[in-house]
Structure 1
Amino acid sequence: MLGGAARIALLEAIHATGSITGAAKAVGMSYKGAWDAVDVMNNLAGEALVVRATGGKGGGGTTLTPRALRLVETFRAIEREHQRFIERAAHALGAVSGEGGDAHAGGFARDLAVLGRFAMRTSARNQLFGTVSGIVRGAVNDEVSIALPGGEGIVATITHESAEALGLAAGAPVVALVKATSVVLVASAADAERLSARNRLCGTIEVVHRGAVNA
């Protein structure tokens, strides 16, 4: 999937409604979350994309700059071409493998999603792919429950604005990143019961690499 779709949708909603309040409601964001997203886009673009006018004959409002309108148009054009590419690639690979079109299209989409995760660059060594199974909204933070492929589940606590910016919802694919130094190991289930950590994954040690200080 082409990145930035949620932010482009917000720009389109601002253009359609002429207000941040209306745009936020249209895309399912809070007012603060929408303005935070606008600030991020302005910073990333290096210029104003959204302009807020106050007072005046028309009573003020929020509008997109010409640059923002061009970015929206460019994004939608790329999105259309991207979809055409996906359809052509799925058809071509299906013809080569001899599989049915619909069945192979689903396999191709899954392969593409995996390849997209391969392209993610991060220093976190533990990368757990899963699906959002539920979100408990809070005034400040949201609790995001993630179902892992093996049947286990973990919970992430992030700010409400971050959840909105990521477009998180039940069923959405996500990757949980955990630095190796943040993982706490205990030797038995009895030891684990005395800890307040909510995320608990049971496993078996495969190998130990010993260093001068850490292992």
Structure 2
Amino acid sequence: MNISSNLTLELFDQPFLLEKRIDLLLAIKEHGSISKAAKAVPMSYKTAWDAIDSMNNLSAKALVSKETGGKGGGGTALTSYGESIINTYLLLKEEQKRFMEKLNELTNIDTGTFKTIGRLAMQISARNQIIGRVDKIVSNEVNANIIIVPKSDHELFANITYDALQSLDIKKDDEVIAIFNSNNILLSTSSDIAISARNKIKGIIKDITKNSTNSEVTIDISENETITSIITTGAVKNLRLEVGKAVYAYIKSNDIMVGK
């Protein structure tokens, strides 16, 4: 019996770089195409894009960029930051391999006793997780209003309890993560509607996945930052939503959680 372990890097207690994601990044570097890279890993085209969107959203800089033009009509490529992340990961992987080999040499599980220590981890189901910087905090004895500025420069307004502010020790200029459910994003093609939602974000529809009842709408809010909304398929039809169309996402400040 041998001891083994996979290497996963986390940001804000969320998986950021897993071995499968590294395989995807290496495949993008080799093929210059998201569809070819997805087949090489393998994973579905949508899963590949979801992984890229997640990495780009959580990272301080984009790991993958879209290229336009050229003989092949464009594609995808690693940024210089993405290249350096891969190189760092591979070095860590090599060190982990040496450590595990040494650990196996020093440990004899077959003749000894050991306990399995379970790690309790909470998996957050919220689809949208965006990294940003705290620009301003206004608080009283009950609530705290926080303004978060992500890479897209769209201001996000979050309302949390004062106790949560103190517990997380959130201060101005801290790096935090804004977390909100896709079901809490309302969409409109108009920038002027009567609604109490504090947050209004303009973007371009990147993808729409439909079923008979609901639809998942993915929106580019900057070059390498996306959010996802779940609305009814009827609403998609009524609003005449389609890929490439400009849309406004509305989110209530109470629906944005803040992690650190």
Scaled by the length of structure 2, what TM-score is found? Answer: 0.38
Greater strand fraction, Structure 1 or Structure 2: 2
Scaled by the length of structure 1, what TM-score is found? Answer: 0.46
Highest RCO, 1 vs 2 (Cα 8 Å, sep ≥ 6): 2
The structure with the larger Rg is 1
Greater helix fraction, Structure 1 or Structure 2: 1
